[in-house]
Amino acid sequence: MNKLAMRSLPFLILMSGVASAQQRVEEIVVVGVQDTHTVITDDTLVAPADTAQLLRKMPGANINKNGELTGIAQYRGMYGDRIRVSINGAKISGAGPNAMDAPLHYAPVAILESLTINRGIASVSSGQETIGGFVEAQTYAGEYGFSGDFEFSGRTYFGAQSINSGTVASGFFALANRNHILRSFVMQEKADDLEIPDGEITPSEYDRERYDLGYSYRNGDHEFSLDFARNNTKDAGTASLPMDIAAIDSDLFRSRYTWEGNDRNFTAEFSASDNEHLMTNYHLRRPPQDNMMTAGAMRYRRNWAVSEDYGFALKMEQFDDQGSWLYGVDGHMSTHRSTITNPNAAPFYIGNFNDTDRDIFGAFVERSISLGEHMGLESGIRVNRVTMDSDPVSANLNPMNMMMGMPFMMNNMAGMLSNMNNASDLSQTDNNVDWFARLSIHTDSGTTWYVGAARKSRSPSYQERYLWIPLEATGGLADGKTYVGNPELDPEVSHEVELGFDYDGGDLSFYPRIFYKEVSDFIQGTPATNMVVRNFAQMMANMGMGRPDPLMFDNVDANFYGFDMEAQYTLSSSMTLRAVASMVRGERDDINDDLYRIAPDNMVVGLDYRNSNWMTSFEMVAYADQDRVSATNLEQKTDGYTIFNLTGRVNVSADVDVSLGIENLFDEEYEDHLAAYNRAFNPDIAMRGRMPGLGRNVYARLMWNF
């Protein structure tokens, strides 16, 4: 048994304890607000394979796009590890040090039932580190029957799009009665390189397979489920990153038990994943070419990375005559390894990350209480203990054992860097405290006013603490800069407030929010001052690998503020006007600079027409100029743009619907500010030029439920 499994054993034992049931008191409804936004996949026509693209339809949310299967969630200016992403209640630690397999990679659109974002301040029960928000993806699990007889049911999903000849085919199959569900799922999706008006984005192809098996049992107040999934991604281009995906092989396990008593509910969850990732800089993109400094073959790189993680959560909800209490303990334990090699020089290697451990154990209590007929209060406190460590690292950059020259000098500097890293205090422990409070007041006019405040924290990622040699393995920042980590980093701590109201006035619904978040010890790349680090990065740049002037992860002060809203107006019994708007600012407080990769101001306005068995939507998507960019990250400005989308859907029968859509109807040329920069040779896109937005895309979907 590996050491990660050994660390999880004490918490598996806790799953056997359940309190006895008592008589439930009359349930009290606590006044609340519209604090989530959910997209139901069956009701939403989706063209791309990446589930993260759905975030663009949600207030305050967006996506940092590094590839067609490599979307990183962004919410109110924060992204990556700052956002807690849950897949069926589980947190998945991807294997890729550059987030090629970001969490939503493990919830493909074809199996997705819903995607929900928590608007504003997330409760402490949502997860351990929610400084940037909370996103939850739910996949299809099937439904129980109404008798003891087993019935067979399922759902097939077929999709295609023109812009990359992409196709997806999947099937969900279930055998169920009132007590049991046996389920399975299979999916195949693939595509060629994306077409743009003046050429192609190369590489941007992808190929992914998915297989699931699951079982659920229900009897009285008890329910138990067990699920296993294998997610295999093959060749997939990530032109915004220095390497492409050759393989991501993942085994995912999840179990859940719930008990509903008369005055309390109990939930126990356990999850595990084992992910292996292989990437290269030569098999999909043009391999490194010879230059004046070195032969191209010496710059071939292959990176093998693995992650293992285990998670658990125990929750007890107890009802009383004023509301409810929610208590819980949870944990997540992960280990990462990453080794870079050269297929043309067997002795060459860089031990990028060597058994980096990141374990977090938390406990929380939450209270929802009625303060009268028109007022409610939700509040909670959480304590997290984060422990991190790493084994010693090493490298051999002189595979020919030369006694002088560039490889000799770089190997000596790598040895100095590894010695400095190994001599530092790699074992770190953080004790973090989070709290939140949310007061809601409902008025007779149909308006519910809302005010919330919170303290949230996040400890550094393993890349931010243990990246010891200047590289771009930065969790998907994709700014083209090389970084080194800092074991002495302090946790980020934010203090935030949010104000807003919900108005439901019959034909009109309106949900605006304004927010302000001040973050102490925000983790940001700052110019590295260590001369060995700087000289090493300069030599790499001279060889055509990376840029000079590396950054080191450091603690700074920052703030985020802005506004987002969603609204809907019923024009008639069959026609609805809807809108989502988002604005966010992210700034450094220690120097005069903006933060990197902040979404421009944007708005989505849609007009929906629904008939008895068909519907159509016309949508405008507008993005403003983004000239508030990070000088530290050499970020480029982008111009604003407006595109139009058209979709239609027909229910051919009660069980079959066919959908057709056109994205970017008028084939507008634009640059996507959150798509980073081109890192692969491409005659159609300048090296390190901003990635272009996609042109006109015609796509279709067929779903059959049986």
Torsion over CA of 135, 310, 71 and 286, rounded to 10 degrees?
180
Write down the pLDDT at residue 15. Answer: 38
Strand bridging mode 551-570 / 483-484: parallel
- Predicted confidence at residue 482, as pLDDT, reads 97
For the chain, counts of helices (H) and of strands (E): 4, 33
Identify the pLDDT of residue 5.
45
pLDDT of amino acid 45: 85
512 in helix, strand or coil?
strand
Residue position matching structure tokens 């550094």: 460
pLDDT tens string 442-473:
998 889 999 999 999 999 999 999 999 999 99
Give me the DSSP letters along 204-225: --EEEEEEEEEEEEEETTEEEE
Per-residue pLDDT reduced to its tens digit, 362-389 = 999 999 999 988 999 999 999 999 999 9
Neighbours of 392 (CB within 10 A): 14
pLDDT at 49: 86
Task: Please tell me the predicted confidence (pLDDT) of residue 32.
Answer: 67
**Which two three-digit tokens encode residue 275?**
């992910």
Q: What is the CA radius of gyration of the chain?
A: 25
Domain that holds residue 312: 3-13+21-705
Please list the ranges in the chain whose pLDDT falls under 50. 1-27
For 466: left if phi > 0, alpha if psi spans -120 to 50, otherwise beta; the answer is alpha
Q: Could you give the number of structural domains in the chain? A: 1
pLDDT of residue 29: 54
CA distance 331 to 329: 7
CATH label of the domain that carries residue 168: 2.40.170.20
